[in-house]
Structure 1
Amino acid sequence: MTITDVNTAFAAEKTTQLAAAREQERAFQARVDRGEIRMISPDRYEVLTGWDRGEVFTVSRNAQGQIAAIIAQHGLDTRADGTIALYASSPAWHGLGQIIPDGTTDIDTVLALSGLDFDVTTVPALYLWDGQLREHADQQHTVRTDTGAALGAVGARYTPIQNRQGFEFLQELVGRYDVVWESAGLLRGGRRVFISIRLPEAVRVDADGINDIVVPYVAVMNDHTGNGQFQCVVTPWRPVCANTERFAVRDAVTRWAVRHTIGATSQIKEARRTLGLSAQYFEQFSAEETALARTDIALDDFQRVIADLWPLDDDATRRTRTNHAHRNDALTERFTTETARVGRTAYAAERAITGYLDHVAPRRPGKTMTEEIARATAAIEGADDDTKTKAHKRLLLLRQT
């Protein structure tokens, strides 16, 4: 008979756990020191390099201040079997989802693995008045046919575009029925879904310099709430979570959208013409970003761009001046971080401004929103698109001076 000293065994296990915790802490700090991640609030960090660049995650710590968990803010739904509602042809940055190496062409398989295997229907909008149930003739509700869960309130003419139609739309768009699906997933209980394929062309930004590689994707984002359109974008992002879904919309090279009506997805010719699925869009994208990457700028140049984007009136209040100074400090800090990665260039300046708007700029969440949801909503709705476009054009002018 073997006798185990549980106290000794516990001590050994605890020693192993502490050693692992210290190693995790050292590895995490090493990534910070190398400039791969940066702190943006006491418990939130942003990834600065690689495929995960721009992603945000939360670090929880125990009473001893050691890392207890690294929590990805993926925003993905959970399927009935408890797994994450995501299909991908290769592992996502957060390590979640159902992976089929090298992907599959079978729509039914992707629908099942991603949690998109449900239809959406509409039901009358009813209300109780004076003890009687009445119908609002001009409104209806979208609901899932598998669970009956309500998704949104819509007008009487609203016609749902089903999840399967998103796949078929992409097949017809590229004129191929052997499309290998790159990713597909489910957000907010089925209110939003995304599907993507990868285009064969890859784009390099400043091939002889920083050599940032941009892989083009075509993605469909469908909204079942009545607050958004069915849209298709050509984008450098692969949607694999709520963050990258909004990045795909934000950074789209071009996009096409249609309202939820009968025959909406049959407008393939218009979509193909608008999206122009050819290399010319990414060639222009590459040329402009390369120009920024090859344009050296001084800190004074960056400060002048900031002043153009966020001017300060001479009669501004003390509070406004304080907020203005805090914004400048935050932007300058991000610019310094980006210059360490890609040099003191206009490209670094653009990354700094975009990153500030997405992750640092103050957001006032509504009563039913968290700050993260408010940020995601702002990005999806393009709240800062004008500022980003103005910054891009202003930085391009620097190469001519």
Structure 2
Amino acid sequence: MAHNLATTNGKVATMFFGEVPWHRLGTRLENPATASEAITAAGLDYEVELKQLFTGDGTFVPHRKGVVRSDNGEVLGAVGNTYVPVQNRQAFGFLDAVVADGSLRYHTAGALGKGERIWLLAKLPSQIRVKNSDDLVDKFLLLSNAHDGSSALRVYFTPIRVVCQNTLNLADNRSTGQGISILHKGNLHTKIREAQRVLGLAEEFYDEAEGIIDILASHHPSSVQVEAFFQSVIPDPIGADNARARKVRDRLTCLFETGIGQDMPEIKGTSWAAYNAVTEFVDHHRPTRSTDPLERASRRLDSSWFGSGARLKAKAWNLAFDMALSV
């Protein structure tokens, strides 16, 4: 289910530093944010607490508790008795601890819905240079936490292609995939200390990703292969009109040929360009069900990172790699 942006004290709960991000949401900061600055700027300086649940007629609800924002009393969800909340400041502290020298800076942070889902996007210092070209990919860590019991605290490895600000989902179902998860149970402090291994996992992930990206950027598929690739990414629905699917595939073909950054000589016409046609479509062009520009951007962000858009990008990544390895 898509969320709209959360608010704190009447302000949209999002911040960013540097160039306007692809989602175009939030308060702009003049300098990279420390954890404390990002929490305040993004409106995430609230805590959650667990409270007993009762029905409308006053009957006590056993084995469940409500998760409530302490600043405004909003009920964010209902969870089991073993649920242990991870406060926003703890989540930022976790990412601070990943890089021991304190060099990590938050480029984007925010919340969705009533504040039940928060995210923190932090940039690692190095970049991927695709096939020794000017096509650069920044390395980010994306932390997501849900206060409604719907998901664990997660840290994803989230590359972003600089030239077009496409967020890439390089989740390979043949590998360990996207980062780590920490369940809201047991001794969270111990788990968080153990999870500092995330930096080593990120380095391994990005080293492997760089090699695969170069394979994609070295492969020039035929027009038949490109057509089959987009057909696999967006197949015709069974027993229904395929006009919408054809329209999307036509848009993907156009983005493959003329999308942002697709004219670089080292990139043009490659499987890497085909994959980025999908990421550009998901992040910038995919229709959303809202007439309000802010809500459309919010829904697109939620989908691109956590929902159907993220799954579509992961599917395209695997299909593009298969295409590049085909004879």
Which residue does the alignment assign to 1:97?
A: 27
SS at match of 1:133: coil
Distance 1:324 1:110 in 2: 40
| Aligned residue among 165, 184, 208 for 1:260 | 184
AA aligned opposite 2:153? F
Which residue does the alignment assign to 1:205?
A: 130
Which residue does the alignment assign to 1:234?
A: 157
| Aligned residue among 76, 83, 88 for 1:158 | 83
| Aligned residue among 62, 68, 74 for 1:143 | 68
AA aligned opposite 1:331? L
Q: 1:262, CA displacement in angstroms?
A: 3.6
Aligned residues: 304
Q: 1:359, CA displacement in angstroms?
A: 6.3
Question: Alpha carbons of 1:371 and 1:164: their partners in 2 closer, same or farther (altered >3 Å)?
Answer: closer
Contact 2:98 2:199 in 1 (8 A): no
Q: Deviations over 1:286-343 (max 9, x none)?
A: 2221221222223222012234456669xx75x4454554444333233232354641
Question: Alpha carbons of 1:104 and 1:235: their partners in 2 closer, same or farther (altered >3 Å)?
Answer: same
AA aligned opposite 1:329? D
Which residue does the alignment assign to 1:86?
A: 14
AA aligned opposite 2:152? Q
Query: What's the TM-score, normalizing by structure 2?
Result: 0.77
Greater Rg by CA:
1
Which residue does the alignment assign to 1:18?
A: none
Distance 2:105 2:252 in 1: 40
AA aligned opposite 1:218? L
Which residue does the alignment assign to 1:8?
A: none
AA aligned opposite 2:114? G
Distance 2:26 2:229 in 1: 39
Q: 1:232, CA displacement in angstroms?
A: 1.2
Which residue does the alignment assign to 1:302?
A: 226
Which residue does the alignment assign to 1:175?
A: 100
Which residue does the alignment assign to 1:293?
A: 217
Contact 2:14 2:41 in 1 (8 A): yes
Q: Which runs of 5+ in 2 are unaligned?
A: 172-176
SS at match of 1:157: coil
Distance 1:88 1:372 in 2: 15
Q: Tell me whether 1:330 sits opposite 2:261 in the alignment.
A: no
Structure 1 segment 243-392 matched on structure 2, within 5 A: 247=167, 250-251=169-170, 254-268=178-192, 270-273=194-197, 276-277=200-201, 279-309=203-233, 317=239, 319-320=240-241, 322=243, 325-338=246-259, 339-340=262-263, 342-356=267-281, 378-379=303-304, 380-381=306-307, 382-384=310-312, 387-392=315-320
Q: Which runs of 5+ in 1 are unaligned?
A: 1-73, 239-243
Contact 2:157 2:179 in 1 (8 A): yes
Distance 1:374 1:83 in 2: 18
Which residue does the alignment assign to 1:187?
A: 112
SS at match of 1:118: coil
Contact 2:272 2:320 in 1 (8 A): no
Q: Deviations over 1:222-250 (max 9, x none)?
A: 11121122111222249xxxxx9x947x4
Q: Tell me whether 1:225 sits opposite 2:152 in the alignment.
A: no
Contact 1:218 1:233 in 2 (8 A): yes
Structure 1 segment 111-150 matched on structure 2, within 5 A: 111-128=39-56, 132-150=57-75
AA aligned opposite 2:27? G
Query: What's the TM-score, normalizing by structure 1?
Result: 0.64
Moved more, 192-201 or 222-231: 192-201
Contact 1:197 1:217 in 2 (8 A): yes
Identity %: 24
AA aligned opposite 2:250? D
Q: Deviations over 1:79-130 (max 9, x none)?
A: 42x54433444353338415142x344x4333222211111011122112xx
SS at match of 2:255: helix
Higher normalized contact order (CA 8 Å, seq sep 6+, divided by chain length): 2
Q: 1:284, CA displacement in angstroms?
A: 2.0
Q: Provide the aligned C-alpha RMSD in A.
A: 3.5
Distance 2:91 2:251 in 1: 40
Contact 1:201 1:279 in 2 (8 A): no
